Structure 1
Amino acid sequence: MLTRRNLTALAAAAVVAPAVAHAPVASAKTAKGGVADPLRDLIVINSLGGLEDPNKANLDADAPLSKRVIDDAVASGLTAMNITLGYVSGDAEPFETSVRGVVSADKMVREHSDRLTKALTAADIRRAKADGKIALIYGFQNAAQMGTQVDRVDLFADLGVRVVQLTYNPQNQLGGGSMAAATLPLTPFGREVVERLNARRVIVDLSHSGQQTCLDTARASKAPICISHTGCRALNDVPRNKTDEELRLVADKGGYVGIYFMPFLADRQITGDDVCAHIEHAIKVCGEDAVGVGTDGGTTGIDDMEGWKKAFADQILHRRAMGVSAPGEQPDRFTFAPDMYGPDQFRILARKLAQRGHPPRRIEKVLGGNFLQYAADVWGG
């Protein structure tokens, strides 16, 4: 399942870094150098992230979660994150793979119940903040596992899945993905699934959808929809980024837009300032109450960067050969901003936004407040 989010781990399969001491990260009360932590009192929510170690080659979903990965996630200031489970792309059987993914996630939460918890409502996220834990939001990045049976929505909702993305990059039985023709509509079955997701108070995610499927779904959904991780096409014209029309419609319907840390610049490597520019454009189009952050990455840094670069390039070429690579992916353009990576990424973002003139209340909304309110509107609690 070659998602961009796990490319760092896939690259690690080709180059396992030697054990090295990584720099200590900020505590919950102070940041580096004893400076006050800008995240101390905030609820920080990553609307699409992960718990991966880019320095390990073992990609088995049932492999134990390393202490370092948990330590880094906690130290990053995260309160909650939407994690990808189950089928995304490839030859695996979608339904069985997705059920196993939920079972594996439940096992992980049980084994690390002192620091992880499962989020079913917005209240669970607030409780995680109070308890010093990270709330994991179970999400899918494809709905191919629904097959032709809309009642599978009920099964996955009962298992605790709270976010369902309708398509990955290719077309599926619900609609068009970002690699398919932009004019492909939401299908009749897709409309059935959206209606059932609404009824079960599951978030409908359109991050990887094609343009027409996104617009159709925003109009058809009785509940506000989510674009958990995207960029702004007005700033960089690639299909994986959303047009102003899509962004505005989602916001006008009460939805949420998360900006990722990979806006796919074709001419150079992205930086933290590029991410800020996409956040600012989204705020201009959607308003400051609809925009947040969905990094599409983890919080653990890379130890052997030079070795990882080569392996990453190989994996991008492999994704192209598999037909799942999104336009804009380049072998020499990392899917993260190197100056805003690792456990301090949210602190760096908060400070960058402050330096660019954004007031504290707006930064609080972008870093998690907006998603929390949106989740409460859809899930309750």
Structure 2
Amino acid sequence: MNTPVIVNALGELHNPNAAPETAGSLLQSSSDIRVDERTLAEAHASGLTAVNITLGYTLGDMEPYPHTLAEIETWDRVLREHPADLLKVSTAGDIPRARAEGRIGVIYGFQNSVAVGRDLDRVGEFARLGVRVVQLTYNQANHVGDGSMAPGNRGLTAFGRALVERLGEHRLMVDLSHSGENTCLEAARIATAPVSINHTGCRALCDLPRNKTDEELRLVADRGGFVGIYFMPFLTASGHPTADDVVDHLVHAVDVCGEDAVGIGTDGPVTAVDDLDAYRDTLAAHVAERRRAGVGAAGERADTYPFVVDLRGVDQFRKLIALLERRGWSPERIAKVMGGNFTAYAQRVWGD
């Protein structure tokens, strides 16, 4: 089949080999953002059409609101520096536009809503600055609701319900990745627009908190939303999934949600880590730091890579397509899952 539109519902646009001195730190600043020529060349070579990147405050010691504004400004500068390669995505129509123009669409997304603080007017400010996706929580609880590792498994707080409403008013995606089960279910039920789980796995296949139950997956899909499957250690109990495990989770998600609601959200870059031996030492320090900070997830260990070893690098999307073909998937279904479904979901939320 011809290469379909490929949209990574949560990924990275950077070279993990470019700045090893910062790779293990939670205290990332906007000055650590690097988009070098290898990043751009390999993103193009992979067939990637668009990617939802994480910017702004997710975790760490920074002040969330000013840090988030600084990172938005930094990414705006990056896009200005690479106009022939990158296109800021504001509407669903920018995704096919990026493909037609030979550029990579860059979607601004949050992985925590803490930067909103208690000021709902900041939602409009972030929307005007180009943010299009807001994940409600990271792994821990915040003032909006519970993350997947929060022991209480509460639903949304009163402020969280008001935030979901305001996000809908501004036509921003409500992303329920990392959320606790009850937070996810409540947000999906009360949202006025379809919601998403941009990067997750299926709890029915691997019972870990970062994965979603069939009830969560089905509710999001039944209300017109989107579910992206990640390339992460949480896909198997061993923490060492293979490309076939990614396919298994995609197959299960389609069985539960239908073929019009599922896609990919790898949670990683196109450019692969070159030296896995050296990376192991960095990884151990990073996992330990996350644990000390209280933001780690069950199934996250010093020996579990945050990627699938045999499904990484510039050929990752082509390899996944080939595996789906071997499972008997039609070209039409593959095209939906690789990017068509996210684009259609984006149209329902953002418009053209």
TM-score, normalised relative to structure 1: 0.88
Taking the aligned partners of 1:182 and 1:39, their CA distance within structure 2 comes to 47
1:326 matched to 2:297: yes
Pair 1:165 & 2:135 matched: yes
Paired with 1:140 and 1:183, the residues of 2 have a C-alpha distance of 22
Amino acid at match of 1:61: S
Structure 2 gaps of 5+ residues are 23-28
| Partner residue, 2:26 | none
Give the CA deviation at 1:182.
5.4
In structure 1, the residue matched to 2:46 is 76
Alignment of 1:20-99 (within 5 A): 38=1, 40=3, 42-56=4-18, 57=20, 59=22, 61-62=30-31, 63-99=33-69
1:253 corresponds to 2:223: yes
Question: Is the Cα contact below 8 Å between 2:203 and 2:214 reproduced in 1?
Answer: yes
Tell me by how many angstroms 1:64 deviates. 4.3
Contact 2:233 2:239 in 1 (8 A): no
Q: Counterpart of 1:280?
A: 251
Partner of 1:29: none
Alignment of 1:219 onto 2:189:
yes
- Structure 1 segments of 4+ aligned residues over 4 angstroms from their partners: none
In 2: Cα distance, 1:133 partner to 1:221 partner = 33
CA displacement, residues 330-371 of structure 1 (integer Å, 9 cap, x when unaligned): 211211111110011000000000011111100000000000
Listed as ranges, the gaps of 5+ residues in structure 1 are: 1-37
Letter in 2 for 1:54: P
Tell me how far apart the structure 2 counterparts of residues 304 and 126 of structure 1 sit (CA, whole Å): 35
Q: Deviations over 1:242-274 (max 9, x none)?
A: 000100000011000000001522325110000
Deviations 1:43-69 (A, max 9, x none): 110000011212122545335421001
> Is the Cα–Cα contact under 8 Å of residues 283 and 290 in structure 1 kept in the other structure?
yes
Q: Do residues 377 (structure 1) and 339 (structure 2) align?
A: no
Which residue does 1:345 correspond to in 2?
316
Counterpart Cα distance in 2 of 1:141 and 1:84:
6
Shift of 1:136: 0.3
1:92-141 residue CA offsets vs partner (Å, 9 max, x unmatched): 11111111111111000000111001000011111101001000000000
In angstroms, what is the RMSD of aligned CA positions?
Answer: 1.2
Provide closer, same or farther for how the CA distance between residues 263 and 250 of structure 1 changes in structure 2, counting only shifts above 3 A.
farther
User: Is residue 203 from structure 1 mapped to residue 148 from structure 2 by the alignment?
Assistant: no
Query: TM-score if structure 2 supplies the norm length?
Result: 0.95
Match of 1:362 in 2: 333
Contact 2:55/2:108, CA 8 A, preserved across alignment: yes
> 2: CA distance between counterparts of 1:268 and 1:89?
23
1:182 touches 1:212 (CA, 8 Å); kept in 2?
no
**Residue pairs, 1:149-188, within 5 angstroms:** 149-181=119-151, 183-188=153-158
Of 280, 286, 296 in structure 2, the residue corresponding to residue 309 of structure 1 is 280
User: SS in structure 1 opposite 2:259?
Assistant: coil
Aligned match of 1:22: none
Q: Secondary structure at the match of 2:30?
A: coil
Q: How many residues align?
A: 343
2:241 to 270, 279, 292: 270
Aligned to 1:7: none
SS at match of 1:367: helix
Cα distance in structure 1, aligned partners of 2:21 and 2:99: 31
> 1:231, 1:263 within 8 Å by CA — same for their partners in 2?
no
1:28-57 Cα shifts (integer Å, max 9, x gaps): xxxxxxxxxx553x1110000011212122
